[in-house]
Amino acid sequence: MNAPSTDLPIGVFDSGIGGLTVLRALRAAMPRESFVYLGDTARLPYGTKSADTVRRYALRAASHLVERGIKALVVACNTATAAALPQLVEAFAPLPVHGVISPGADAASAASIGGVVAVLATEGTVRERAYHGALLHRGVHRVFARPAPLLVTLAEEGRAQGALVQHVVRDYLEGISGDQAFDTLLLGCTHFPVFRSVCAEVLGAEVAIVDSASTTASAVAAVTPRCLGDRAHTHFLATDGGDRFRRVGSFFLGETIPEVEIVDL
């Protein structure tokens, strides 16, 4: 197989709309590139499902993007990265396949001064201990991870502010590390950057808050052959609920989503 054409779009996929936070960073880092984004909204959330099922769903979603023609694949979902990255890399080689766990660990280890990192993630990401190895490998001393499934539901509802959100965030952050203070909070689910300001209110200024979006974008930008054209566009696909995707997704992306094509996987 030859190297894919540099004119092809970059494929990005997530269980739903959380990956749009990564797409946003990718577009900012590579403004001349085109993207095709697939949200597997008919099967979300991935975070509460078994690794086998997530792997099956991820392979199906990725195959669809590969068949459309892409020059690289970004798995913009921590749960899918944790459960399926090696399988995706192998299934689509030599296509470059990027996950969000390593970039997230890079961001957290760079931000952490004391080497104690707390991770809010999905049940699946926590169960796979995806961030533990990656963070310890980068010199972090202690990692505390907690599943926060209600935040996925709140995010998919488009609720990122208010008393209830604050209560939920406080509930998850309290006692996450027992008596030990952590100096960095890693938002280990691509849905969670929308809760950054609430987390900051709860934790105060001494705790750094990081996510995978910008470090993933930098990592992808560093190795992706650039498009030389000037017709960058983004095509949005979802497996269910186009109106809902447009409505809530626009909030995640930070701009209006004009159109969503529904695909049946």
Taking residues 219 to 258 in sequence order and writing x for each that binds a copy of itself by CB under 8 A, - otherwise, the string is: ---------------------xx--x--------------
For residue 13, what are its two tokens? 């996929």
Please count the helices (runs of H) and the strands (runs of E) in the chain.
11, 10
SS3 11: strand
The radius of gyration of the chain from alpha carbons, rounded to an integer in Å, stands at 17
Q: Does the footprint of a copy of itself cover residue 154 (CB under 8 A)? A: yes
Q: Does the footprint of a copy of itself cover residue 158 (CB under 8 A)? A: no
For residue 114, what are its two tokens? 């004391």
- Site for a copy of itself (CB under 8 A): how many residues? 24
Taking residues 170 to 189 in sequence order and writing x for each that binds a copy of itself by CB under 8 A, - otherwise, the string is: -x------------------
Q: Does the footprint of a copy of itself cover residue 98 (CB under 8 A)? A: no
Question: 158: alpha, beta or left, given left = phi > 0 and alpha = psi -120 to 50?
Answer: left
Site for a copy of itself in 1-60 (CB under 8 A): 41-44, 48-50, 52-53
The catalytic residue positions are 77, 189
Q: Does the footprint of a copy of itself cover residue 161 (CB under 8 A)? A: no
For 246-260, give the secondary structure using H, E and C.
HHHHHHHHCCCCCCC
CA nearest neighbour of 73 among 81, 65, 64: 65
* Residues binding a copy of itself (CB under 8 A): 41-44, 48-50, 52-53, 149-150, 152-154, 156-157, 163-164, 167-168, 171, 240-241, 244
